[in-house]
């Protein structure tokens, strides 16, 4: 890939290793199947050495190591070890069980002494179509710890389609914790059935007045747009016009989405082509680096 026109910052890279002795894997419920995931883990691991080399090739200054639930569930040891060993370029975004009573204590123990910038919560709706794991009494205790530590909250609800039930709770959390940045993975699942105009529906418009809610557009979004005929650049411009470019950032989803890193970076850069140059640099580097960059800097 040619040198990009500006530095990049990847807010959503997954790291994993073939060293199953030191870092045991648990690919239960892997989308590609347990055996296929184990085979990929052994033959094509996304180790720190490999990912950092790809970053060098593609002009990526740094990024966030987002715990890979598919491989490690809530065992964050490899993600933390990568971030601790490469503090100048990588910070860790952990995954813990929002509903577990011991999660607040775990978060405090892990984030305090290690290079951790955020906590990712992930989950599905209950039988009633609601998302209590986002804001249950147990979850709120975890939010309290994250707020006290100055961590960012990274949220991904499933399945991957717009949900007023999930986004309504997220708006309430943004109001409850106004100093906590909430980053929505995959832009909180924009719609893909109504063209560019339908990507930001009423569920997402409810987020406009919440300045502490930010959005990560990833290769998952770009692949879905390719499948449904949506121009990624028109989407990114619509996001910037709706929320402000300062609330938008790029994440590759490398290690999970099976697109080459160079293609991911090229497609993301192209998706910002309708923005002014300053906004392009902000979306592709500055915004992410401010949130997930070197935690040692004031």
pLDDT of 29: 87
Q: Which domain holds residue 221?
A: 8-292
Residue 1 lies in a domain: no
Residue 3 lies in a domain: no
Describe the strand order of the beta sheet including 248-250 as a list of residue ranges.
8-13, 60-66, 90-95, 116-123, 152-157, 182-184, 213-217, 248-250
Residue 246 lies in a domain: yes
Interatomic CA distance for residues 93 and 273, integer angstroms: 29
Interatomic CA distance for residues 153 and 150, integer angstroms: 10
Residue 197 lies in a domain: yes
Interatomic CA distance for residues 184 and 248, integer angstroms: 10
Residue 260 lies in a domain: yes
Q: Is the pLDDT of residue 1 over 80?
A: no
pLDDT digits (tens, 9 = 90+) for 64-103: 999 999 999 999 999 999 999 999 999 999 999 988 999 9
Residue 40 lies in a domain: yes
Q: Sort strands 116-123 and 248-250 into parallel, antiparallel or unpaired.
A: unpaired
Q: What angle do CA 268, 274, 279 make, to 5 degrees?
A: 75
Strands of 74-129, DSSP E: 90-95, 116-123
pLDDT digits (tens, 9 = 90+) for 175-200: 999 999 999 999 999 999 999 999 99
Half-sphere exposure of 291 (CA within 13 A, CB side): 35
pLDDT digits (tens, 9 = 90+) for 229-288: 999 999 999 999 999 999 999 999 999 999 999 999 999 999 999 999 999 999 999 999
What total of structural domains would you count in the chain?
1
Residue 255 is part of a domain; what is its CATH number? 3.20.20.140
For the chain, the average pLDDT equals 95
Residue 298 lies in a domain: no
- Which run of H or E residues covers position 229? none
pTM: 0.96
Residue 176 lies in a domain: yes
Q: How confident is the model at residue 298 (pLDDT cuts 50, 70, 90)?
A: very low
């Amino acid at each position: 890939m040619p040198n990009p026109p500006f530095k990049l910052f990847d807010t959503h890279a997954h790291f994993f290793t073939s060293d199953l002795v030191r870092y045991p894997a648990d690919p239960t419920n892997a989308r590609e199947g347990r055996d296929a995931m184990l085979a990929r883990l052994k033959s094509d691991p996304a180790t720190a050495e490999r990912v950092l080399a790809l970053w060098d090739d593609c002009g990526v200054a740094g990024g966030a190591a987002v715990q890979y639930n598919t491989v490690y569930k809530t065992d964050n040891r490899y993600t933390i070890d990568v971030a601790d060993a490469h503090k100048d370029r990588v910070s860790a975004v952990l995954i813990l069980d929002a509903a577990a009573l011991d999660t607040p204590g775990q978060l405090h123990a892990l984030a305090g002494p290690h290079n951790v910038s955020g906590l990712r919560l992930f989950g599905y709706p209950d039988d009633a179509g609601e998302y209590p794991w986002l804001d249950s009494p147990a979850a709120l205790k975890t939010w309290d710890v994250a707020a006290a530590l100055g961590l960012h909250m990274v949220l991904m609800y499933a399945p991957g389609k717009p949900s007023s039930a999930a986004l309504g709770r997220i708006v309430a959390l943004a109001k409850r914790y106004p100093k906590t940045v909430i980053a929505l993975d995959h832009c909180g699942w924009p719609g893909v059935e109504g063209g560019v105009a339908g990507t930001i529906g009423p569920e997402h418009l409810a987020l406009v007045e919440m300045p502490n809610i930010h959005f990560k557009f990833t290769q998952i979004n770009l692949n879905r747009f390719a499948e449904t005929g949506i121009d990624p650049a028109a989407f990114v411009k619509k996001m910037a016009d709706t929320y402000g470019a300062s609330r938008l950032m790029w994440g590759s989803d490398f290690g999970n989405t099976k697109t080459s890193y160079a293609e991911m970076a090229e497609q993301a850069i192209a998706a910002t082509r309708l923005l002014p140059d300053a906004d392009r640099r902000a979306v592709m580097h500055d915004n992410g680096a401010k949130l997930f960059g070197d935690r040692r800097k004031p």
